Amino acid sequence: MNSWKQFQEENKDRFLNELLDLLRIPSVSAKSENKEDMLTCAKAVEKSLQEAGAQTTKIYETEGHPIVYGELIVDPSFPTVLVYGHYDVQPAEPLELWKSGPFDPTIIDGKIFARGSCDDKGQFYMHVKALEIMTKTNSLCTNIKFIIEGEEEIGSPNLATFVKAHHDLLKADVILISDTAMISMDTPSIDIGVRGLSYIEVEVTGPNRDLHSGVYGGAVANPITILSKMIASCHDENNHITIPGFYDDVVESTEAERKKMAEAPFDLKEWSTDLGIKEVWGEKGYSTNERTGIRPTLEVNGIWGGYTGEGAKTVLPSKAFAKISCRLVPHQSSAKITEMVLAHFKKNAPPNVTVEAFEHHGGEPYMTPIDSHEYKSAAKAIATTFGKEPIPVRGGGSIPICALFEKELGLKIVFMGFGLDSDNLHSPNEKYDIANFYKGIETIPYFHKYFAEKNA
């Protein structure tokens, strides 16, 4: 075992510099202007897999951004671990709030500040480096396959087609994903669930052109006012979501489950102070951790309409827009919820305006059973390197493809995340602690070891 640690120590500066190079590529999947960067990034990922010891690699074209595949089959009798990750990142805007360039990774106080540093380049790259350590030390006791896609942040629109067409290629015994967080380095945890997602966009049109708000104001429906009313109507006074049927398929957690969740260390005051808020908000009857873990949500991710420039313009605008997404929990269906939310905006529109609404993307919620060998292998690996048993928690984020993986490949997914909630995912100044990066690299080989032990 010491050989793993020794190899890592001797190469850790290089590991870090390689990650920084990867972070310099602005692989924003949502933006067409970054299409070339996406291909550049895919090629860099493929090269890194080859250098780490993958025998076979291939970049698969899709209708959107390419998927990078790599594998190392040591022995057909070994169990196979399929590592999933993504090389695409969220848009970096608002740029003016970044303290350093989002694609100019900067290390401050042992943390790497860059878009994608934690989500997910820094995390999937730990697996690339763990592969290198295991191959260079001749200690691989599993076969490894990598599937690193470029469309996770836009809902993996082309991955399902790929998975369905490549059952044999992706044949494995477990899927391992590092794209989540732990409570802290002192309190390691494992996400046992991710929430599903429904993401829509709404366009409200009033008059056929922007109007003078004096000449027409008061007599023509203002699309911003109407959109605001429709958004306001999505939550009642207890912050329950009002859309009919929204909660129908939600599996209510038992009192026992909720009691166990409440035992996880959580300092509400510290959490609020970190966010700069005086009071938390959310659905009545649930704690903060329950609101982000076991309950579905509806959030407005963006809104715009009318004059948004400097100074004042007295306009009654023609159009107003909003981007809105829901996080879903078992057994809500992304397709059903998307349909309900679209219907809410279309059907509740007053006759003075026209409302168009369409789906961006979605994904189903997913949960890992904690009594499985898959989960136990991850827990044991973390206990080995952290010196503490990890706590199972319900994560708030989404990895849209999980449910499909399980259905198509018949595999359980383990979320072994080494990020922190405070890593500013999807926000300005995203960061990843170098210590977490190194700890992840150190921990991953133990997962392979423990997972292989039973199967061996």
Residues in 322-351 at the binding interface with its own copies, rule: CB under 8 A? 322-323, 325, 327, 350-351
DSSP string across 71-112? EE-S-TTS-EEEEEEE--B-----GGG-SS-TTS-EEETTEE
Instruction: Tell me the two tokens of residue 275.
Output: 């966010």
Q: Which region, judged by CB under 8 A, interacts with its own copies, from 76-84, 87-95, 105-113, 376-384?
A: 87-95
- Alpha-carbon distance of 129 to 11, in angstroms, equals 10
Task: Give the residue, chosen from 41, 131, 367, 425, that forms a contact with its own copies under the rule CB under 8 A.
Answer: 425
Half-sphere exposure of 116 (CA within 13 A, CB side): 31
CB nearer its own copies, residue 3 or residue 352: 352
Nearest approach, Cβ of 441 to its own copies (angstroms)? 23
What token pair was written down for 413?
């997914």
Specify the DSSP element, H or E, that contains 57: strand 56-60
Of 231-270, which residues contact its own copies (CB under 8 A)? 231-235
Q: How far is CA 286 from CA 164, 275, 289, 292, in A?
A: 39, 19, 8, 10
Q: Are strands 189-194 and 391-394 parallel, antiparallel or unpaired?
A: parallel
Going by C-beta distance under 8 Å and a sequence separation of 6 or more, which residues neighbour residue 290? 253, 258, 261
User: Which stretches of 104-148 are DSSP H helices?
Assistant: 121-136
Report if residue 26 touches its own copies, rule: CB under 8 A: no
> Per DSSP, what are the bridge partners of residue 80?
143
The Cα–Cα gap between 27 and 319 comes to 31
By CB under 8 A, residue 358 contacts its own copies: no
Among 106, 117, 142, 429, the residue binding its own copies under the rule CB under 8 A is 429
d(CA 365, CA 245): 17
In angstroms, what is the minimal distance from the CB of 14 to its own copies?
Answer: 30
360 or 449: whose CB is closer to its own copies?
A: 360
Determine which residue in the list 2, 77, 254, 308 makes contact with its own copies, applying CB under 8 A: 308
Under the criterion CB under 8 A, does residue 31 sit at the interface with its own copies?
A: yes
Residues 114-173 that bind its own copies (CB under 8 A): 153-155
Q: Is 288 in the site for its own copies (CB under 8 A)?
A: yes
8, 222, 253, 368: which one binds its own copies (CB under 8 A): 222
Q: Which two tokens stand for residue 334?
A: 């992304």
Q: According to CB under 8 A, which one of 110, 245, 265, 302 is a site residue for its own copies?
A: 302
Q: Which residues pair with 356 in a beta bridge?
A: 203
Give the residue, chosen from 99, 209, 284, 347, that forms a contact with its own copies under the rule CB under 8 A. 209
Residue 279 near its own copies by CB under 8 A: yes
Nearer to its own copies, 46 or 191 (CB): 191
Is residue 285 part of the contact set for its own copies (CB under 8 A)?
no
Is residue 62 within the footprint of its own copies (CB under 8 A)?
Answer: no
Q: What is the nearest approach in angstroms of its own copies to the Cβ of residue 4?
A: 31
Strands 143-149 and 80-86: parallel
Is 297 a residue that touches its own copies (CB under 8 A)? yes
Q: Which residues, in sequence order, are bridge partners of residue 357?
A: 202
User: Can you tell me the distance from the alpha carbon of 283 to that of 279, in angstroms, rounded to the nearest whole number?
Assistant: 13
Sign for the pseudo-dihedral over CA of 29, 30, 33, 35: positive
Among 65, 115, 291, 439, indicate the residue that binds its own copies (CB under 8 A).
291
Interface segment toward its own copies; rule CB under 8 A; list 26-34, 38-46, 158-166, 384-392 = 26-34
State the nearest-atom distance from the C-beta of 160 to its own copies, in Å. 17
Contact call for residue 193 and its own copies (CB under 8 A): no
**Within 367-396, which residues bind its own copies (CB under 8 A)?**
395-396
Residue 78 touches its own copies, criterion: CB under 8 A: no
Question: Which CB sits closer to its own copies, 396 or 445?
Answer: 396
Nearer to its own copies, 149 or 153 (CB): 153
Choosing from 39, 185, 264, 303, the residue that interacts with its own copies (CB under 8 A) is 303
Using rule CB under 8 A, residue 77 touches its own copies:
no
Residue 81 β-bridge partners? 144, 174
Residue with tokens 């120590």: 9
Asked if 424 touches its own copies (CB under 8 A), the answer is: yes
Give least dist CB 291 to its own copies, A. 4
Binding-site member from 3, 17, 21, 30 for its own copies (CB under 8 A): 30
User: Please, what is the minimum distance in Å from the beta carbon of residue 55 to its own copies?
Assistant: 36
Whose Cβ is closer to its own copies: residue 129's or residue 360's? 360
Smallest CA-to-CA distance from 317 within 204, 190, 394, 167 is with 204
User: Contact between 317 and its own copies (CB under 8 A)?
Assistant: yes
Start-to-end CA distance of the chain, whole Å, equals 18
- The count of residues interacting with its own copies (CB under 8 A) is 102
Q: Which of 84, 8, 80 is nearest to 403 (CA)?
A: 84
Q: Which residue has the tokens 């970049």?
A: 59
Q: Cβ atoms within 10 A of the Cβ of 141, count? A: 18
Show the tokens assigned to 266.
Answer: 């959580």
